[in-house]
Amino acid sequence: MKIAFFDTKNYDKPFFEQFKKNNMKIKYYETKLNEDTCSLAKGYDVVCVFVNDDINKNVIDQLVEYNVKMIALRCAGYNNVDIKYCKDKILIARVPAYSPYAVAEHAIAMLLTQVRNIHKAYVRTKSFNFSLSGLEGMDLYGKTIGVIGTGKIGKIFIDICKGFGMKILAYDKFPSKLEKTEYVDLDRLFCESDIISLHCPLTEETHHLIDKNSISKMKEGVILINTSRGALIESKALLEGIKTKKIGGACLDVYEEESDVFFEDNSNFIMDDDTLALLTTMPNVIVTSHQAFLTKEALSNIAMTTIDNIVAYFETGECENKVE
């Protein structure tokens, strides 16, 4: 089996080399898979891709022409793949649950950093400034947190929030039976939540779920957390909400236009994205570079499951993690 591995990062290769089978040959490309780079997949049986590779109709047609038999996603989300167009042309498999604890714990870490001003204190004490002025925080105990999306990650996030003594409001199209969790409609969740955390997939329905209209329904000073997909939040509406102090803080591990920015060192370049540039200057905005998944446990699970998906398809013609 010959596998073309796109958007390779330095942390990917050791884990995939550990789990790959003897009959596998992997070619690692740093470039992302898109219409301009698709020719690199010629002669390979599988392409292995990540969240910012662009698998549109033209790319799919090229892959089929090259006789590529499988698109192996090493992530849970697949909004960057034209799933409908792939049907009956090429198989797609994903990693549905590589480490929900990693993402949920990162969301909590960002929240704690935000409400206790840990990021500000860290910078100050590096310069031997031990003043407490401006570092007043907020208790999580007794606060209402709205959780949008109660899949595996959302449920773990809720369990952690219960440990802080928080009141849980939740929204999901397919509610689960969760203790000390009240399922409500989105309008009530927006109106009553002190903190809102997003744990839902990006679909046509959830695109810009957080926009000017939904922000207008929220409490003054609400804190938003997004560790799912950037386009769940309309970035310009978020920026305006922060500038008007309607939004008291934002914790963003993802960003709407992250594909050409995140995962790369852009420290020597001028940021072209004015919205992102402004967001990162705000004292009440914490941005991390799509790293919520990045734990040793998660990377190991991603590599193992991706390899297992490939083996299962080539040995049986089927794969339990296929996307339809």
Catalytic (active-site) positions: 229, 258, 290
Burial class of residue 6 (count of CB atoms within 10 Å of its CB; 0-12, 13-18, 19+): buried
| b/e burial code for range 156-192 (CB count within 10 A of at least 16 → b) | bbbeebbeeebbbbbbbeeeeebeebebbeeeebbeb
215 near 247, Cβ under 8 Å? yes
Number of H helices, E strands in the chain: 11, 12
Give φ, ψ of 131 to 5 degrees: -70, 145
Please enumerate in sequence order all residues whose Cβ is within 8 A of that of 311, keeping only pairs 6 or more positions apart, or say none.
21
In Å, what is the CA distance from 108 to each residue of 149, 165, 255, 309? 16, 14, 18, 31
Alpha-carbon 211 to chain mean position: 18
| DSSP 8-class letter at 287 | E
